């Protein structure tokens, strides 16, 4: 089975963000399946765009997940 890959530039065009932002997401391990090859990155073509943690909706999502984890931890005590 052979995977199809795309470059950060192709991912940026597909996702509507800058190629530098894609590179940063890869460096921060936020892009599933991204592989560093030399100085560049390869990203599987079927990888969805990661959630941008800088937006208000992403911060709300993070806050909800933290609350859920805390409530489950409290139940285990």
What are the φ and ψ backbone dihedral angles of 31, each rounded to 5 degrees? Answer: -105, 115
Rounded to an integer, what distance in angstroms lies between the CA atom of residue 6 and that of residue 59? 29
| C-alpha Rg value of the chain to the nearest Å | 16
- CA 8, distance to chain mean position in Å, is 13
* pTM exceeds 0.75 for this model: no
pLDDT of 61: 74
- pLDDT exceeds cutoff 90 at 67: no
Q: What is the mean pLDDT of the chain?
A: 86
- pLDDT exceeds cutoff 60 at 74: yes
DSSP secondary structure string for all residues of 32-52: TT-EEETTEEEEETTPPPPP-
- pLDDT exceeds cutoff 80 at 55: no
* Closest listed residue to residue 49, CA positions, set 25, 27, 67, 66: 25
- pLDDT exceeds cutoff 60 at 1: no
């Amino acid at each position: 089975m052979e995977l199809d890959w795309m470059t950060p530039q192709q991912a940026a065009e597909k996702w509507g963000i800058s190629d530098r932002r894609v590179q940063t997401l890869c460096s921060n391990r936020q892009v599933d399946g991204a592989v560093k090859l030399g100085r560049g990155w390869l990203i599987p073509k079927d990888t969805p765009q990661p959630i941008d943690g800088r937006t208000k909706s992403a911060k709300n999502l993070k806050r909800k997940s933290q609350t859920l984890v805390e409530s489950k931890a409290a139940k285990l005590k």
